[in-house]
Amino acid sequence: MIIWGSGGDAVNLGVLETRRCDMCEKDRPFNIILQYRYWGLYWVFNFVTTKKYLLICDVCSRGWEIDPSKLEPNLKTVPIPFMRRYGILVLIGVIVGLFLLGSLSGGMN
């Protein structure tokens, strides 16, 4: 039986700046939020299907999307867990490794 599914998560990357919020009509702190969706097999072998960075007011939760090319070079680490980003590649590597191991051991007889 093959188990597959999708999910999503939001990661608060902290306060980027304080600026005037049009909704609150006051100076407010704005957080960077990374929203992403992923798809996977067996809850382990995943890959990210969409991601976006949002600049959100800390008080009213209104904001807008930020261009990732302007933000990602300034991040020290990618906040998405490794197996959610590259889990499907790990599965492919395991399958290829088992195939190679099987062909090498079969060729020695």
Interval 19-33: pLDDT, tens:
888 888 889 999 999
The pLDDT of 31-49, averaged and rounded, is 92
Among candidate residues 75, 74, 57, 55, the one with its CA nearest the CA of residue 65: 55
Give the per-residue pLDDT at 16: 82
62 token code pair: 């209104």
The pLDDT of 35-43, averaged and rounded, is 91
91 contact partners, CB below 8 Å, separation of at least 6:
41, 45
8 token code pair: 């999503």
CA distances from 50 to 34, 36, 44 (A): 11, 5, 18
Give the per-residue pLDDT at 107: 61
Give the per-residue pLDDT at 86: 92
Neighbours of 51 (CB within 10 A): 18
Q: Kindly report, residue by residue over 48-103, the tens digit of the pLDDT.
A: 999 999 999 988 989 999 998 888 888 888 889 999 999 999 999 999 999 999 88
